[in-house]
């Protein structure tokens, strides 16, 4: 099982003028800042090419997405905090925590999603192949969401705990064993 991405969120403890923030970031870091405004209350920036994405809200809350590990997420937060300090943004009340990770597993087999959806019970899954090419499975005993694809690839979201993700994937394997006995 590999971790694909991890996300954290936090707060600066005060409102932010986003246009001024982006302008200051560009002045400090130069052209490497990639800013994408989503209306007047939200902006997503990258502080380096192909680096994590920082979504900052006018309210002062923010999210960091796209770091490959918890360690890289922590480093991305420290870099963000450092850059904010450099441009004069007070970070003394900044809070931050890891919220979720996305894991990927390859089950090493193809899956008949229609048959599997019926076997799991329609109350535990969402499967609309016209809308999305995978089956969405939310096992009741795990607080995760599993995106299961016909290729046997599985995306696991909703947890930061690798052991929890592995356990949910093992549960999925156990459910798939139904087809091995047929």
Mean per-residue pLDDT for 110-124? 88
pLDDT for position 44:
95
Burial of 30 (0-12, 13-18, 19+ CB in 10 A): exposed
Q: Residues 90-106: pLDDT tens digits?
A: 888 899 999 999 999 99
Domain boundaries, the chain: 2-99, 107-180
Topology agreement, domain 2-99 and domain 107-180: yes
Is the pLDDT reported for residue 182 higher than 70?
Answer: no
Mean per-residue pLDDT for 130-140? 93
Q: Residues 136-173: pLDDT tens digits?
A: 999 989 999 999 999 999 999 999 898 999 999 999 99
pLDDT for position 132:
94
Q: Which residue matches tokens 């939200």?
A: 42
Distances (CA, A) of 67 to 63, 75, 77, 101, 112: 11, 9, 10, 9, 33
**What fold characterizes domain 107-180?**
TATA-Binding Protein (3.30.310)
pLDDT for position 97:
95
Task: Indicate the CATH number of 2-99 among 3.30.310.50, 3.30.470.20, 3.50.50.60, 3.30.70.580.
Answer: 3.30.310.50
Q: At what angle do helices 18-29 and 70-86 cross, to 10 degrees?
A: 90
pLDDT for position 180:
64
Is the pLDDT reported for residue 178 higher than 80?
Answer: no
Question: What global pTM score does this model have?
Answer: 0.77
């Amino acid at each position: 099982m590999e971790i694909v991405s991890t996300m954290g969120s936090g707060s600066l403890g005060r409102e932010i003028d986003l246009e001024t923030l982006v302008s200051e970031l560009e002045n400090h870091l130069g052209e490497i800042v990639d800013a994408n405004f989503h209306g007047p209350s939200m902006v997503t920036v990258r502080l380096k090419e192909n680096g994590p994405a920082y979504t900052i809200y006018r309210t002062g809350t923010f999210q960091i997405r796209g770091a490959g590990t918890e360690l890289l997420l922590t480093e991305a937060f420290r870099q963000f905090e450092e850059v904010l300090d450099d441009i004069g943004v007070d970070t003394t009340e900044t809070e931050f925590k890891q919220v979720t990770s996305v894991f990927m597993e390859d089950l090493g087999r193809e899956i008949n999603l229609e048959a599997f959806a019926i076997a799991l019970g329609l109350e535990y899954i969402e499967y609309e192949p016209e809308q999305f090419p995978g089956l969405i499975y939310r096992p009741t005993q795990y607080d995760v969401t599993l995106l299961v694809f016909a290729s046997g690839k599985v995306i696991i979201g909703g947890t930061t705990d690798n052991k929890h993700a592995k356990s949910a994937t093992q549960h999925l394997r156990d459910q798939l064993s139904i087809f091995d006995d047929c």
